[in-house]
Amino acid sequence: MDKNPAVVTDRLGRSLRDLRVSITDRCNFRCTYCMPRDVFGPDHQFLPRAELLNFEEITRVVQVLAQLGVRKIRLTGGEPLVRRNVPDLVRMLARITGIDDLAMTTNASLLAGVAGTLRDAGLTRLTISLDALDDDVFRAMSDTKIPVHHVLDGIAAAQQSGFSSIKVNCVVRRGVNEDQIVPLAQYGRDHGVIVRFIEYMDVGTSNGWQMGEVVPSREVIARIAAVQPLEPLSPNYPGEVAERWRYADGTGEIGVISSVSQPFCRTCTRARLSAIGELYTCLFAGSGTDVRRWLRADGLDDAALLERLATVWRGRADRYSELRTQQTAATKQKVEMSYIGG
């Protein structure tokens, strides 16, 4: 075991700092790039509740990973707010020594009624998935009957509840929503939120990804800068995935995440825990490590659990985005994003 577990690194020298925890594989949207309805339809078999990690198990894994250097936790899904009693989990995680950033990614359609409770429980940040302001484009991309104003109401409720750090993530897909780039950027300026534009990625194997549908981040920046001049900003911290830009007049900032055109694998410090307790070391991995078995069947104590988790990270050599081609995107078997979060 490392003398100082907090500095555990993988085979490419990358430390472990960020953990994304999926708490459900269910979602009330059917976004075409994540859970297309022809795959996740009425007959789709979601995970039985008994197979999901319970809140105590999630908390235990996070406590051990905090000893290995994890400082940031992000709750994801599916849609995390479809799981019952999420504020209870937030409260448990917020007490863990070493965790100084506790965030959630949500589509915000269910956020308005629970934002204050989440804030009081200890959630520090929110990221809202929002791909369009135009209602028709929004409904087409998210394949839902829920109107976009439910999402906007959720954002407003979060701001009123005291969340000072709210980001909006927009996945940009050629021919679908690139005309929403400038309106979303303006929305961010007007409402004091940071909008980040994400290149459409080949996550999973069910979204029919094609390279030609990617809108490169350089084009996103150019579209916005043509309306409001932009200036580059330095990263907030080493390994930050979003490239930051601020408006030249000082009224806010935007971000771009360029996993396709400018891969950032060499600075990736993220691991992902699925809802049934599989640990994935890459968003594009085909399989994970069954941590739930270590908890339930093997009955490992914390010291043994720490060593096995450290061994997984030490063996990591993932750098899929650096190796991606149209062929690998089409042929490599990859876990679905709805299963382990974005």
Domains of the chain, by residue range, sit at 16-340
Per-position pLDDT tens, the chain of length 342 = 444 545 799 999 999 999 999 999 999 999 988 888 988 998 999 999 999 999 999 999 999 999 999 999 999 999 999 999 999 999 999 999 999 999 999 999 999 999 999 999 999 999 999 999 999 999 999 999 999 999 999 999 999 999 988 999 999 999 999 999 999 999 999 999 999 999 998 787 777 888 899 999 999 999 999 999 999 999 888 778 899 999 999 999 999 999 898 888 989 999 999 999 999 999 888 889 999 999 999 999 999 999 999 999 999 999 878 777 776 766 677 788 787 876
Closest by CA to 230, choosing from 199, 189, 260, 264, is 189
Annotate 298-330 with DSSP letters as a single string. Answer: S---HHHHHHHHHHHHHT----HHHH--HHHHH
Q: Which CATH number fits domain 16-340: 3.40.50.10090, 3.30.2000.20, 3.20.20.70, 3.40.50.720?
A: 3.20.20.70
Cis before residue 122, ω within 30 degrees of 0?
no
Tell me the pairing of strands 230-232 and 194-199: unpaired
Residue whose entry in the numeric block shows the structure tokens 């235990």: 60
DSSP state of 287: -
